[in-house]
Structure 1
Amino acid sequence: MTLPDSAVVPDAAGPLVDAMAQLHKAAATLELPDGLHELLGSPRREMAVSIPLRRDDGSIAVYSGYRVQHNFTRGPAKGGLRYAPSVDLDEVRALAMWMTWKCALVDVPYGGAKGGVAIDPRTHSTAELERVTRRYTSEILPIIGPEVDIPAPDIGTDERTMAWIMDTYSVARGYTVTGIVTGKPLSLGGSQGRAMATSRGVAHIALLAMASRGIDPAHATAAVQGFGKVGYGAARFLAEAGVKVRAVSDVDGAVYAHDGLDIAHLAAHVERTGTVAGFDGAEAIDPASVLTLDVDVVVPAAVEGVLTEENAPKVQARIVVEGANGPTTGAADAILKERDVLVVPDILANAGGVVVSYFEWVQANQAYQWSEREVNDRLEERMARAWHDVVAHSGAHGMTYREAATVLAVERVVDAHRLRGLYP
């Protein structure tokens, strides 16, 4: 099967290449006709916007922003908003496609979307980021809504960003619309357990993966790349389960302790200094080495494309749990498969965030708040169900977990599409 000429054609390298290759393989396995394959590979809607910003010193800067809605077949589009200098349209397209598969895999009634602004939030004041967020929201306002497309936090954004989006949207509508975003502050209709949901899901899946390989958490070791929203929580929950987290890294450095880092003290250090670098409870190491340390589990929890053809042969871990979206390139995937390294794919491993985002959206629609215990119990049940679905499909069809997860997700979207039909 070949990709139809009219489908989105990515650049020669990057996350969209990997996303399209994964879809191509799933489509071939499912023997999808070319037209349906093309439909699944093409975003339903894309918007690129120019975002002018009056900076605090009075100068004017202009940034590029994007919102891509990949699929609506199973429900409204859902996906995060990323602020990073590297953001471009192909990256957002890939992330939106992965969101479609992620939502289908964990059986939440959403399609996939993603947004991004090519800006470095670390070099802007809070007031500047608020102005950027509100202008971006006003530009994409015609294509978002609680029944259309629901943004959420991602790299470089947080619950405060979501509050600005909610307020901007609500002002435009003339009444408060809490369901327009998820990942909001609790006082504005957010959900208990949402802040740590992705991390908690990563830890649940990592522990299930360890059990599948006969690894006792009490005698296990791990390394986590990234110490932000996902990485910190993943490290914390793994440590609470008895795993020795030997190393973590962020954009400024990496630290290592053979007998395990004190995650609580490290988090306090990061709160004071903004980085893991300089933590006196560990030794400094090369950040690139975190992925190849002698540990049982590696959790890449930062950005895409960090496990590559160059470093995959050096990975010593028996298990890779993808806390980030698209951290493993296609070439690295093939190498890790050959070396019998178990790779738990992003659309399974880090789906906890969208699961609890769904719970938050449901609570907003009901004007009712669940307890944190209810949220966490339902999250664990949903993640365990998806894990067992993937393991069963993998075993029955001789697939890697990524192949099995993608085939299952694509098949669910295809089934919904076939039931709905094509209009007109």
Structure 2
Amino acid sequence: MAKEKQNQDKAESDITTHDHNPYDIVKGLIQESVKALGLDENVYHVLKKPMRVLEVSLPIRMDDGTIQNFTGFRSQHIDILGPTKGGIRFHPNVNVDEVKALSVWMSLKTAIVDIPFGGGKGGVIVDPENLSVSELETLSRTYIRKITPIIGPQKDIPAPDVNTSPEVMGWMIDEFDQLRGYNIPGMITGKPVIIGGSLGRLEATGRGVVFTIREAAKVLDMDLSKSTAALQGFGNVGSMTAKFLHELGVKIVAVTDARGGIYNEEGIDIPALLDFVKDGSNYASDFSDAESITNDKMFGLPVDILIPAAIENQVTKETAGNIQAKIVAEAANGPTTPDGDKILEEKGVFVIPDILCNAGGVTVSYFEWVQNTMNYYWKEKEVNEKLEEHMLFGFEKVLEMKNDKKCRMRDAAYMVGINHLVKAMEARGWIRGSDMESNHNDMK
């Protein structure tokens, strides 16, 4: 059932969050990076706000005949590099500031890994667990109808996110095609392969996370085959990350989700766990071949690699002080608060920031869009090779900036992304030479 298929992504997204506004956080990081690059405040003023934010009303007739009116959003940050791009999440905690922040992060991701897209993001305030399959389909189709005026393969390209799936994308693209009267496969990515999806897309974000962990391990001279890891969240991203880490010989000792967690000092049997959750009806924390562990205790385990793969604001001043990991790989969007970040820096933890770490998803979404445009499709091996090329390019650029500026990886990632966008602004005449000179009198 559709509800069962959503369980693992819901597990990722329901882990307790803290009261930190992600949009305020991302604006602060952009502000700091513009200053560090010696750019004029005009650059900050261009980047701090999405170019367009749409709020839509979604009245849905439920199975019992009543009508419920849901609220949806779509944020488009900047389209200077190409059409905006980003996922759609269905979650009761969706809000406009979260969607705006996620669209900004997406702009920076695409810039870092050199993809010709801008950042977009969408969401609906809903708990899909409370919907039947037909109600979920109706909501999905209604949302696409309402945002149709601002989306399309050359304007804004949606994709799956928390609590959405290839099945949901299939309903959405069908609705869009019916409105337009012909097949437009490139208007959405992350859809089923049979209707134009890309091989390798489902695994792409987790695979990209592992590429960056592998490169970080090289920097720290770590042998991954002798390393340990703990994961927060075991939805699509967390489970794929676990799969590929296990294949590299990493011993994964703990996994947590919304219901709790599991721990095995000798290493969790990842293939067995993947098989246990594959139909979406089981949570990872229900896996019997391991001990129980709380989310808080998981953060304090003496592991080499910690992977927050759930949702925003998980590594905080309360949890960061307990972290013993050498590497924190941000598979989720915005998992670390500014207070948590400072503590990790003081502890000397190598942080792989989210806008680099989890860029594999949008990278293969770009490949899917390219294949749709050509109407020619690649083998999975070719997709994975191209993904690795883009992820390594991004990692090397960020590491180079980190070493040049002697700063944190997060600051370096923001500076790489902003630099890329600034070059496009100059090329289009959005900013002039005088805008490149430092002037920060009123950067608010």
TM-score range, shorter chain: over 0.9
- The DSSP-based 3-state class of the residue aligned with 1:310 is helix
Report the TM-score, using the length of structure 1 for normalisation.
0.95
- Match of 1:257? 264
Equivalent residue in structure 2 for 1:276, among 278, 284, 300: 284
Separation (CA, whole Å) in 1 of partners of 2:277 and 2:166: 19
CA contact (8 A) 1:198 1:353 kept: yes
The offset of 1:127, in angstroms, is: 1.0
Equivalent residue in structure 2 for 1:175, among 182, 193, 199: 182
CA contact (8 A) 1:278 1:284 kept: no
Separation (CA, whole Å) in 1 of partners of 2:395 and 2:40: 28
- Match of 1:162? 169
- Match of 2:123? 116
The offset of 1:341, in angstroms, is: 0.6
- Match of 1:317? 325
Equivalent residue in structure 2 for 1:298, among 294, 302, 306: 306
CA contact (8 A) 2:70 2:125 kept: yes
Equivalent residue in structure 2 for 1:359, among 321, 345, 367: 367
Which shows bigger deviation, 280-289 or 145-154? 280-289
Q: Deviations over 1:355-403 (max 9, x none)?
A: 1000000000000000000000111111111111111111111011111
> Any unmatched runs of 5+ in structure 1?
1-11
Which shows bigger deviation, 52-61 or 106-115? 52-61
- Match of 1:329? 337
Q: Deviations over 1:260-295 (max 9, x none)?
A: 111121122223642112211101111232222110
Considering Cα pairs closer than 8 Å and 6+ residues apart, tell me whether 1 or 2 has the greater RCO: 2
Report the TM-score, using the length of structure 2 for normalisation.
0.91
> Any unmatched runs of 5+ in structure 2?
1-18, 432-444
Q: Say yes or no: does 1:241 pair with 2:248.
A: yes
Equivalent residue in structure 2 for 1:60, among 49, 64, 67: 67
Equivalent residue in structure 2 for 1:25, among 23, 32, 44: 32
Separation (CA, whole Å) in 1 of partners of 2:278 and 2:136: 20
* Structure 1 residue identity aligned to 2:182: Y
CA contact (8 A) 2:296 2:319 kept: no
Separation (CA, whole Å) in 2 of partners of 1:261 and 1:215: 21
- Match of 1:414? 422
- Match of 1:383? 391
CA contact (8 A) 1:291 1:300 kept: no
- Match of 2:8? none
- Match of 1:214? 221
Q: Deviations over 1:139-193 (max 9, x none)?
A: 0000000000000111100101111111111111110100000101000000010
- The DSSP-based 3-state class of the residue aligned with 1:311 is helix
Q: Deviations over 1:27-72 (max 9, x none)?
A: 1112332233111101100100111121122222121100000000
Equivalent residue in structure 2 for 1:285, among 272, 293, 301: 293
Separation (CA, whole Å) in 2 of partners of 1:140 and 1:290: 40
Q: Say yes or no: does 1:126 pair with 2:133.
A: yes
Q: Say yes or no: does 1:92 pair with 2:99.
A: yes
Separation (CA, whole Å) in 2 of partners of 1:267 and 1:63: 34
Q: Deviations over 1:291-332 (max 9, x none)?
A: 221100000001011000111111111110000000001111
Separation (CA, whole Å) in 1 of partners of 2:110 and 2:368: 15
Aligned residue pair count? 412
Identity of aligned residues (%): 44
Equivalent residue in structure 2 for 1:307, among 315, 319, 330: 315
* Structure 2 residue identity aligned to 1:401: M
CA contact (8 A) 2:20 2:337 kept: no
- The DSSP-based 3-state class of the residue aligned with 1:196 is helix
- Match of 1:192? 199
Separation (CA, whole Å) in 2 of partners of 1:378 and 1:285: 38
Which shows bigger deviation, 111-120 or 206-215? 206-215
The offset of 1:405, in angstroms, is: 0.8
CA contact (8 A) 2:255 2:285 kept: no
Moved over 6 A (4+): none
Separation (CA, whole Å) in 2 of partners of 1:240 and 1:150: 33
- The DSSP-based 3-state class of the residue aligned with 1:195 is helix
Which shows bigger deviation, 287-296 or 217-226? 287-296
* Structural mapping, 1:125-144, within 5 Å: 125-144=132-151
- Match of 2:58? 51
- Match of 1:9? none
The offset of 1:251, in angstroms, is: 1.3
Q: Deviations over 1:111-152 (max 9, x none)?
A: 000000111112211111110011110000000000000001
The offset of 1:234, in angstroms, is: 0.2
* Structure 1 residue identity aligned to 2:104: M
Distance 1:288 1:54, change over 3 A: farther
Separation (CA, whole Å) in 1 of partners of 2:342 and 2:295: 24
- Match of 2:440? none
CA contact (8 A) 1:22 1:406 kept: yes
Q: Say yes or no: does 1:397 pair with 2:405.
A: yes
Separation (CA, whole Å) in 2 of partners of 1:81 and 1:291: 29
The offset of 1:13, in angstroms, is: 3.2
* Structure 2 residue identity aligned to 1:312: A
* Structure 1 residue identity aligned to 2:416: L
Separation (CA, whole Å) in 2 of partners of 1:198 and 1:260: 23
Which shows bigger deviation, 247-256 or 340-349? 247-256
Separation (CA, whole Å) in 1 of partners of 2:335 and 2:261: 18
- Match of 1:8? none
CA contact (8 A) 1:253 1:275 kept: no
* Structure 2 residue identity aligned to 1:206: I
